[in-house]
Chains A and B, each alone.
Chain A
Amino acid sequence: MSSDVRDVLNLSVEDRPRPAKRQKTAASRPNLKGLAREVQNLGGDNPIAIVPEISSFKKRRLGSRKPAARWKLAPFRNSARGDGLLLKHWKREADKSSGQDGPANEHEATAEKQSEEIEDSEFAKFNVSVNVPQYSDDQYNATLTNKDWTKDETDYLMETCKKFDLRWPLVWDRYDYALKMLVPSGQGSGEGESDADPNSAVVPTPKIRTMEDLKARYYEVAAKMMAVQRPVQYMNAAEFSLHETMVNFRPGDETKRKAYAQSLLGRSKEEIKEEESLLIEVRRILARTEKFNQERRELYNRLDYPQSETTQDLSSFKTSMGLQNLLQTLMNVDKSKKRKSLAGTEVNTPASAGPSAHPGSTPISDHRRESIAASTHRDSIGESSRPERPAKKGPQQPERRKLTEQEEQIYGVSNHDRLSSGPTFRFERINKILTTKSNAQHQRIINTLAELDVPARLNMPTKAVVDQMEKLLNQIVILLDLKKVGDKLDADIKVEQVKKADREKRNAPAEPEKKGGADEAAKAGAPATESAKADAADGAQQAGQNGDAGVKQEVAEDKMDTT
């Protein structure tokens, strides 16, 4: 058949893309059965474009077909309603086991279910209403009286607020106290009576209330009732802020704001255009000043002007330390400048060429591009100046408030040049002094301490005590050294004296020069040792005093510390 078609269309047998199609048909053929295969075969070599129907998909569905889901018209209640209205909606039946039973059985089951539980609507929880302040007559008379509002009208306001969930536009829209007075409470059906009413009874014409009046009154009442229920000082933060907001409601300001909004709404097209153009102008001016400031700042940067230090604290330069810092800063800046000027020149030139091309009289259209250029310029500067910032920050940091010595004492602040890592015992410091010395010297120091009545091991190594002890030990070491020198000199002098006596014995004529030198040396040594002795004694006394005073008080503490 297909060859017939080919003949009709004058197509040669050769130009058909056979192999590809062969494969396809070979793949699809075994799936076909019955009539479909016959039809397919009609096509011969060139298969007809029939999309083989895949029946497996459909079959599977047919095979697993469940009985249709059961739905029932179930009554339900809404607990948000007070009247127990029963409405009915369609619900899917939960269990399908009853479906297998007979129809009578099923009816029974559903009847049972209906009777045993009538479900509550899941939407009942959305029934919420606002709380408006409640007050009794006494409370009203005590706190809420207002010459502008009667109690009746206040009641009406509260009622309206509750009715409309405090949606003020609606409250204002529906607020009609005059009508309320006309129609007595209860049924408002008798219109003829109420029409006659105002003529006979004296009705004070109620004021026309603006929304601000209503709000002001409501907030006044609400705030006062809040304060009555819980005095202001006991309110929590949320309550207090609410209270504050309500107390601070200014109807006058609101009215003014609304009048302004109204005028804003009633602007004509021209006015809006004018305003827009003015706004654009303002923005342009602001942008220009911003740019100008930026340029000035850059100029200052370039001139190494120490911007922040001078303005912030001049007194820091009054000391030599401050001047040193300043010098340091300037040197740092100078260094980075030199580095930057090398890097920055090629970045800066294209950007800086922009503004200088048309100085002063730049047209508006150019202005934007220029500002963009300026911004990129700024960025590039910022980038290169970033590394210098930490250097500048360094000297700025000690600008923290310096504590006086007294304050340091109070706060227990101490400064350390370098802290060793980890905790150490304070007396280690003293031990270190002792242990570094040779054994003989150690013994000598111990002896000196014993001589001074200071225990070698401190009972109470507080900071002050340890400091004093350290000082004392150092003095002792110096004392011992000087003693040693003195002893040595004494010994020398003795030796020399012995020698001199020998020589005098040997030859009668004497050499006075030599003796004088030794004397001088002895003289120089003696005062030194004397002063050292005095110092050491002094230090020991101090240490002893401090130590004794501290010991008794701080024994307990020390024990606690060590434990």
Chain B
Amino acid sequence: MAAQQLTTASAPTDIYGGDEVSALVLDAGYCHTRAGFAGEDVPKSILPSFYGSLKDASQLQGARDIFGDECLLPHADFEVKNYMSRADSVVEDWDAASKMWEHMLIKRLQPEKETHPSKNGLNDPADENGDVNMEDVENQENQEKPLAESPLLMTEAPWNAGKAREKAIEIAMESWDVPAFWLTRTPVCAAFAAGKASALVVDVGGACTSITAVHDGLILKRSVQKSPVGGLWLSAQIRSMWNSSEPKLDPMPTFMVESKTPVDAGAPAQARVRKFDFDISPSFRAYEDERLLTEFKESVVEVWRGPGRYSNPGNEELVKTQPGRVFEMPDGSNQMWREQRYRVSEGMWDETAALPTNEADTITKAQTIPELIKSCLNSVDVDLRPQLLANIVVTGGASLVNGFNDRLNNELMAMYPGMRIKLHAAGLTTERRFGAWIGGSILASLGTFHQMWISKKEYEENGAGIVEKRCK
């Protein structure tokens, strides 16, 4: 995971034009928030965007927020929240967002500053879970503003509203005192991570799928297409499949299982359920369910590779004859999955094949990936279309579903038969998941990027509106 050590920094500058200014890069998504140092190839700190809100009896003002994967454990009076909005993948709860980001950028990335032992919190009676008391961090931060040394580059969804952008720069400038700031769109970063300045970026993320045309390092606003068909939508499909299966599957997440004994495939589970002497909040249960579903997606779900749709006659029969995959639930019950694993993902391509879910997750034809790409291309200049089709960058964690790229390629070939279509999808899982962060890391470490930063002085002169003017 560690970034490659560059032994001599004198050599590479003239090769790729890099000039590090120890910038930080922050990429917030609905499922995960990624933060790290510019110039590295993987974010140093990857936390779920879900955070815990602990109602502490001792504290009167209500909930205390705790951040980090390791804190999301069953507690009494514990809610799991997300600071991002599910529908748009943009920040919804700014208080939580700034706390979360502070936690990542300051607590996780900055070296521990030596403070007086009575104040540094190490000698305080340890929390039972060892998590961080954010008020303390805040107090520290109020005193010294620890990001004064590092420029900060943040990413945002292409449809991010002007107000949200201004809010972001306000937080960075006012409360963290960063010397320079920049806000860039995720598709641009993803394209940069693939080494392209112009590309059609297909970002299949957790909450949203977005298709954006990037021209010369800037997004084409009219081309931005967004759809809920993403990782969470796929989870809803799986849940729907489990519900409708015979017998109905209602697996319990890992934290509820105390012990299990192996059973044969299809046999009922033999597991002992852990008892808690407090109520598990539905939000925590949903979060844990999602983890299980993610595992299922990663190991079982596959996309029908085409050509043609999965619902075409003969395809399902073919799949049934082929070996399936076994998945063992946390409680020990296991089952072979054959044609179902194709069926859940088919809705991404063919809205008629989507499994019935609640209304929020029902998609229309226009929200399927091929239609998104089509309408994206239709809203850019015709001269750009061939170039975009030859430079399609696939990124986002949900695009790692098996067979996704093959299917996408087949669909595009069928839609644009005469064109040269080329997909660029990073082979490494991390590169696909953190494409936007990596692009931001590249961008922030470029020597030519120094002139782009919005400096503190400029911010003070022009106010938060400068971000609209500069970050086009």
Q: A267 is contacted by which of B162, B180, B418 (Cβ under 8 Å)?
A: B418
Which of A82-90, A107-115, A356-364, A489-497 makes up part of the contact surface? A82-90
Contact yes or no, B382 A167, CB < 8 A: no
A123 at interface by CB-CB < 8 Å: yes
B445 to chain A, nearest CB (A): 10
A270 to chain B, nearest CB (A): 9
B455 at interface by CB-CB < 8 Å: yes
Contact yes or no, A272 B417, CB < 8 A: yes
Contact yes or no, A123 B151, CB < 8 A: no
Q: A85 is contacted by which of B180, B218, B380 (Cβ under 8 Å)?
A: B180
Q: B448 is contacted by which of A126, A168, A269 (Cβ under 8 Å)?
A: A126
Contact yes or no, B220 A173, CB < 8 A: yes
Task: Knowing A121-B447, A173-B222, A189-B465 are in contact, say whether A265-B472 is a contact too (CB < 8 A).
Answer: no
Q: How far is B393's CA from A107's CA once the two chains are assembled, in angstroms?
A: 49
A81 at interface by CB-CB < 8 Å: yes
What B residues does A84 contact at CB under 8 A? 457
Contact yes or no, A258 B383, CB < 8 A: yes
Q: A187 is contacted by which of B19, B151, B222, B465 (Cβ under 8 Å)?
A: B465
Interface size for B (C-beta < 8 A) is 49
Q: How far is B450's CA from A121's CA once the two chains are assembled, in angstroms?
A: 8
Contact yes or no, B382 A258, CB < 8 A: yes
What B residues does A191 contact at CB under 8 A? 163
Task: Knowing A88-B21, A90-B20 are in contact, say whether A265-B453 is a contact too (CB < 8 A).
Answer: no
Task: Knowing A87-B180, A272-B417 are in contact, say whether A164-B149 is a contact too (CB < 8 A).
Answer: no
Query: Which has the most chain A C-beta neighbours within 10 Å: B180, B215, B418, B463?
Result: B418
B371 at interface by CB-CB < 8 Å: no
Q: Mark B139-153, 1 if CB is under 8 A from A, else 0.
A: 000000000010100
Contact yes or no, A83 B457, CB < 8 A: yes
A232 at interface by CB-CB < 8 Å: no
Contact yes or no, B455 A85, CB < 8 A: yes
Contact yes or no, B457 A85, CB < 8 A: yes
Query: Which has the most chain B C-beta neighbours within 10 Å: A71, A89, A124?
Result: A89
A347 at interface by CB-CB < 8 Å: no
What B residues does A169 contact at CB under 8 A? 215, 220, 380-381, 383-384
Interface size for A (C-beta < 8 A) is 42
The closest CB in chain B to the CB of A176 belongs to: B221
B179 at interface by CB-CB < 8 Å: yes
Q: B21 is contacted by which of A81, A87, A174 (Cβ under 8 Å)?
A: A87
Task: Knowing A80-B451, A174-B472 are in contact, say whether A272-B21 is a contact too (CB < 8 A).
Answer: no
What A residues does B220 contact at CB under 8 A? 169-170, 173
What A residues does B456 contact at CB under 8 A? 85
Q: How far is B6's CA from A89's CA once the two chains are assembled, in angstroms?
A: 14
Contact yes or no, B381 A172, CB < 8 A: yes
Q: How far is B10's CA from A89's CA once the two chains are assembled, in angstroms?
A: 12
Q: How far is B466's CA from A188's CA once the two chains are assembled, in angstroms?
A: 10
B110 to chain A, nearest CB (A): 15
What A residues does B55 contact at CB under 8 A? none
B458 at interface by CB-CB < 8 Å: yes
B419 at interface by CB-CB < 8 Å: yes
Q: How far is B447's CA from A164's CA once the two chains are assembled, in angstroms?
A: 21
What A residues does B10 contact at CB under 8 A? 92
Q: Mark A260-294, 1 if CB is under 8 A from B, else 0.
A: 01101101110010000000000000000000000
- Report, nearest first, the 3 A-B pairs whose CB atoms are least far apart: A123-B447, A85-B455, A80-B451
- Identify 28 residue pairs between A and B in the complex whose beta-carbon atoms are under 8 Å apart, listed by A's number: A80-B450, A81-B450, A81-B455, A84-B457, A85-B457, A87-B21, A88-B149, A90-B9, A90-B20, A92-B10, A121-B447, A122-B19, A123-B446, A126-B448, A127-B451, A164-B472, A167-B215, A170-B216, A173-B220, A173-B223, A174-B472, A187-B465, A188-B162, A189-B166, A211-B381, A261-B382, A262-B382, A265-B419
The interface of chain B, by Cβ under 8 A from chain A, is 9-10, 17, 19-22, 149, 151, 162-163, 166, 179-180, 215-216, 218, 220-223, 380-386, 414, 416-419, 446-448, 450-451, 453, 455-458, 461, 463-465, 468, 472
The interface of chain A, by Cβ under 8 A from chain B, is 71, 78, 80-81, 83-90, 92, 121-124, 126-127, 163-164, 167-170, 172-174, 187-189, 191, 211, 258, 261-262, 264-265, 267-269, 272
